[in-house]
Structures are given as C-alpha cells and as structure tokens.
Amino acid sequence: MNIIVAGADGFCGWPTALYLSKQGHDVSIIDNYVRRDIDQELHSNSLTPIASLDERVAKWKELTGKEIRVYEGDLTHYDFLKQVLKTEEPDAFVHFAEQRSAPYSMIDREHAVYTQENNVTGTLNVLYGIREIVPDCHLIKLGTMGEYGTPNIPIEEGYIEVEHKGRKDTLPYPKQPGSFYHLSKVHDSHNITFACKIWGIRATDLNQGIVYGLETDETLMDPILTNRLDYDGVYGTALNRFIIQATVGEDITVYGSGGQTRAFLNIRDTVRCIEIAAENPADRGEFRVFNQFTEYFSVQDLAEKVQKVAKEEGFDTNIAHLDNPRVEAEDHFYHAVNTKLQDLGLEPYLLDEDVIREILHAVVAHKDRVIKDNILPTVTWK
C-alpha cells in the first residue's frame, strides 16, 4: 500500500512512518519541520537528541534497504500538496501534521490563530486534494479524545443514538473542547464529515488519548532513529513529564486536585492503530470514528504510579499540587468506549510498572539535557 504520513518528523509520526515501512508499505513523508522551529521559539528541546530527518531516513535505508521519500513543505500550501498527491497517488493519507499542544494554542491571540489556521486550513486542503487528485484515497486523521470533554454520560465512538420527543436518530457525539487546539480538531471533524457526505470521501478519525512512551522496535534499531521526547510545560504530556520530574529531583506536579481523568495509550499502540485503520479502510462516503486509547487514569493515579517506580529506582520524589492553569473539571465522571480498534485486532500494551521503568531508564540516560526552567507550566487559560 502506498501511504503518505504527514507530520512524520514528530513524536507520533516518525515511529508510525518507520513501522509502516517495516510492514512492507511504500511510505513517503510530508513535513515542514515546524516542530523543530517551535523548540527554538520556546527555548526548549527534546530530551533525546534527534537527528535531522534526512539523516533519519538515510539510516533507515542503510539498515533495512527500504526507502522513505521526503517532501518538505506545508499542507497550507495547496499547490505543493497537489503536486505530492499527483506524484505519489497514495492509497492512504495519514494526517499528523497539526499543531498538537493545547497550552501552545492558549499562549495568546497569535498562537490561537496560528493553531486554527494551520490545522483547519491544512485539513481542508487535504480534503480538496483527495477529491481532486486521488478520490479513492483513505484519509486517516488524528483527532483527540479531548474533543469530547468530560460529559456526565459515557463517551461513545463518534456517534450517539438520541431519543427526543418520540423520535430517534443517530447523531455525532456532542463536543465540549477545552482549548483553541481542541476546537481546531472539532472543526476538522465537522469539515471531514461534510466532505464525506458531499464528495464520497472515505475517512477514519482516530480520537487519540494522551500518548506516553518513547521508543518502538524500529526506533530502537539505531540511535539516529530515536524518537523525540517532550517534557516542557507546553508540549510535555503527563506521564512523560512526571517521569522526568522524578529523575531530576523535582516534585511531580499535579494540576489542581488531580481528579482529572484522561484516556492514555502507548506509542507502540499508536503505530499499530494506524496500520489497522489503513488495512481496514472506511467505505466511500463514510466518516468513521475510532476512540484510540487503551485505558484511562486520573492524573493523581498516574503521579502515584510514577512515584512508586521512581522510589524503587532510587529517586525519592514527592507529589505536589499546583493551582490548575487550565479551566477544566477536576473531579468528574469519565467512561469512554474503545472497542472498535480492539475488534479489528489491536492487542494493547497496557501501562504497568515495567513500562514506566523502561521510560525512566531512557530518561536517566539523557537527563543532563533537561532545561529545568521549562518543566512547570507558564501558560494559563484565564
């Protein structure tokens, strides 16, 4: 299968591109390297040193004999995107190429506007490009569980059956996004739904939970292939950030009460979910939604899991509660359905102490790269 992975220089995109290539697919990459530019803007870095994309794909070809073609450019530039689609004629288009940080989108007006322009315009261009150039191409779009918010009813996979005044209908599940980033994902979902309806595009929206972990079998093949690991208060996700705090002698910082419950999955499951979606495409005209996570925890539970393993490894760390920089419910009902991917064959890597320990050991090897001033949050919603 010919597959384009857009945003493949990033945390999820890079291991996905390698995994799909290893499985025998013909893979090409689109990226504009903006995530590396944002590191410079924020005076931050990846905990792990990461090679240039050219070095990465060259090493992959040296090790496996498999070529991954690279197209440097921006999805918001439609002429560029059209040319790539004409050259590659992909069977599937995996779309990671969005600004993915809620805090980044909340820095100020400029960052909110950038996030929505980049994400929504880029996705609209992909939809038009598929319609015009490769109408049978399957769009695999990374959404987020954050689109749903924290409703006081179970979260279904994309759709919900509603009975109202004696009538029944199946409707898109209500969205309660919690940042301008999450709003951009909701706008994407609406645009894709409409495009599927009017143009017959086939699309799968993967509403992904918070991804943890670092390496996959493929990124472990050589240091040049290693994945990035974000830890700062803008791009660092909860589990990875907690582990880093524990290893550098900082308190594990929980926002508010810590009762916020979120869905999580291992980076190894992310790459497998993409493969499952690609090998089981949506029908023409279908906007299919999978909730892409494997389990969920409260933030306090997650902090306690990390604290326990850290202490066993000789890092005596405390859990501290900070004033919550976000506007969100801290103690709430949370139950989400996630059966569709498992029905198609996903066998999850669940979070246990060995997984936390593996990430912790990787962090220890590079903890001299941590910029401590970047760990705590500096962006507030209000």
Which residues belong to the active site? Answer: 144, 181, 185
Burial call 162-180: b when 16+ CB within 10 Å, e when fewer:
eeeeeeeeeeebebebbbb
Residue with tokens 């591109």: 17
CB atoms closer than 10 angstroms to residue 26:
17
Pairing of strands 167-172, 159-164: antiparallel
Quick one: tokens of 170? 């199946």
Residues 326-354, buried b or exposed e (16+ Cβ, 10 A)? bebbbeeebebebebbeeeebebeebeee
Query: Is the distance from CB of 313 to CB of 357 less than 8 angstroms?
Result: yes
H or E element that contains 199: helix 180-199
- Whether the CB-CB separation of 299 and 262 falls below 8 Å is answered with yes
Give yes or no for a contact between 77 and 243, defined as CB atoms under 8 angstroms apart. Answer: no
CA gyration radius, the chain: 20
From 93, 101, 287, 85, select the one nearest 201 (Cα to Cα): 287
328: phi then psi, degrees, rounded to nearest 5: -160, 155
With 0-12 / 13-18 / 19 or more C-beta atoms within 10 angstroms meaning exposed / middle / buried, residue 314 is: exposed
Looking from the CA of 220 toward its CB, the CA atoms found within 13 Å total 9
